[in-house]
Amino acid sequence: MTQNPLHKKNIILGVTGSIAAYKAADLASKLTQNGAIVNVILTDAAAKFISPLSFQSVTGQPAYISADLWGAEAHVLHIGLARKADALLIAPATANTLAKLARGGADDLLSLTALALGSGPDAPLLMIAPAMDAGMYSHAATQENVEILTRRGAVFIGPEEGHLASGLVAKGRMSEPIQILEHLRYQLSRSGPLKGCHITVTAGPTQEDIDPVRFLSNRSTGKQGYALAQAALDAGADVTLISGPTHLTPPAGTRLIHVRTAIEMQHATLSASKTADALIMTAAVADFRPAQPAEQKIKKAKGVLSLPLMQNPDILAAVNQQRATTLMPKILIGFAAETQSLTSNAEDKMRRKGLNLIVANDVSARDAGFAVDTNRVTLLYADGHQEELPLMSKLEIAAAVIERAIPLLNPQENV
């Protein structure tokens, strides 16, 4: 199964002397919950804000301070840490640490380890989340250091505009731990089996206007589609997510295109499909739209309202037609939400829409389908074979679907 790229990764979390250091404990905890092995290095200033024990408690791994350099393991500590690291994440990173890294200083355990990681394309990822007071980040000296480090391949996240410890509101606030984690997840996924593949995913409902304030829609929340976007990113793909209105946050690294109506979704999907290797159509596209949306709000005094509807275009069928000339996307994956005759209805859809794979789910079950976190699906393939998956989280289903898509996209993986 394609996995969270943080799973079993050795992450060194460098924590430096900013008040945001307290948030680093949450970050260390989240990284650990995502399966990473987290070794923390605190600078002396960081250890004044938060103790190594806090980190040890949430990571189950040792947390180091510079004094450990002179302990029993002294001559190997920074080398040992650097050798097994998949990434060094410094959060929060102070202006002093940025300056030190930019000029190659090595006077404490963190900067020594950063230097021992090496530089160039084969060096482990260096990701930096700065935190400092207003004016310090925008200072020419800091900006030059950021530029030097970026040129050497470091990836920056933040800082964000917001409330600072000094009381000022400006750019200098450390990005939230969840954003840092998601960005690291994205960065570590880039060498996955779908590296270089472009996958377009559609998600959520569409809204079809009745008048300027009312619309027709459905109960889709977009959860399954957003989970597919995440799973495709985790496998290394470049992902375009075409989303109807939802309350969800798109996974870090997605190219997000917001749409509202089926017509807008068709337009965006046909355009993205020209360069997509795969289209995964999870969106619950409204089948009908009001034939003539009213220009003004319809008044209830008019009494019984009859609303003539017309059929929306079938987006998958249109993409299938377009690919006869563009030869893209190479594979088409659809979803079938059914309340009866699940597999025969899904099979019929697969043939009509020219799909390579259809994911069929019974939306009448309480633990599957709309607005719940779990789903129970059957996968039907164009060659006629079927695969029933047990009740799983939508993320697990997404990972299973992406796993099945890999050999379809890279036929050499089959041999």
Stretch that binds ligand C5P, among 29-37, 38-46, 162-170, 329-337 (CB under 6 A): 329-337
* Catalytic entry in 10, 218, 345, 410: 218
409 binds ligand C5P, rule: CB under 6 A: no
Q: Residue 31 or residue 346: which is nearer to ligand C5P going by CB?
A: 346
Stretch that binds ligand C5P, among 72-80, 138-146, 172-180, 281-289 (CB under 6 A): 281-289
Q: Which residues of 347-378 are buried (b: 16+ CB within 10 A; e: fewer)?
A: bebbeebbbbbbbbbbbeeeebbbeeebbbbb
Size of the site for ligand C5P (CB under 6 A): 12
CA–CA gap between residue 277 and residue 239 (Å, rounded): 10
336 binds ligand C5P, rule: CB under 6 A: yes
| Tokens 């994956």 -> residue | 333
Please list the residues that pair with 12 across neighbouring strands. 39, 88
* Closest approach of ligand C5P to the CB of residue 349, in Å: 5
Q: Residue 90 or residue 316: which is nearer to ligand C5P going by CB?
A: 316
* Residue span 250-279 as binding mask against ligand C5P, x where in contact by CB under 6 A, dash where not: ------------x-----------------
Decide if 218 is catalytic.
yes
Q: Residue 166 or residue 344: which is nearer to ligand C5P going by CB?
A: 344
CA–CA gap between residue 384 and residue 294 (Å, rounded): 46
Tokens, residue 35: 């399966």
CA–CA gap between residue 285 and residue 132 (Å, rounded): 46
| Tokens 């984690």 -> residue | 181
Q: Which DSSP category does 1 fall into?
A: -
| Tokens 């943080």 -> residue | 6
**Position among 37, 154, 252, 285 found at the interface with ligand C5P (CB under 6 A):** 285
Alpha helices in 287-357 (DSSP H): 315-326, 342-352
Please list the residues that pair with 200 across neighbouring strands. 240, 279
Q: Residue 293 or residue 313: which is nearer to ligand C5P going by CB?
A: 313
* Closest approach of ligand C5P to the CB of residue 406, in Å: 20
335 binds ligand C5P, rule: CB under 6 A: yes
List active site positions.
218
Q: By the criterion CB under 6 A, which residues form the site for ligand C5P?
A: 262, 281, 283, 285, 312, 314-316, 334-336, 349
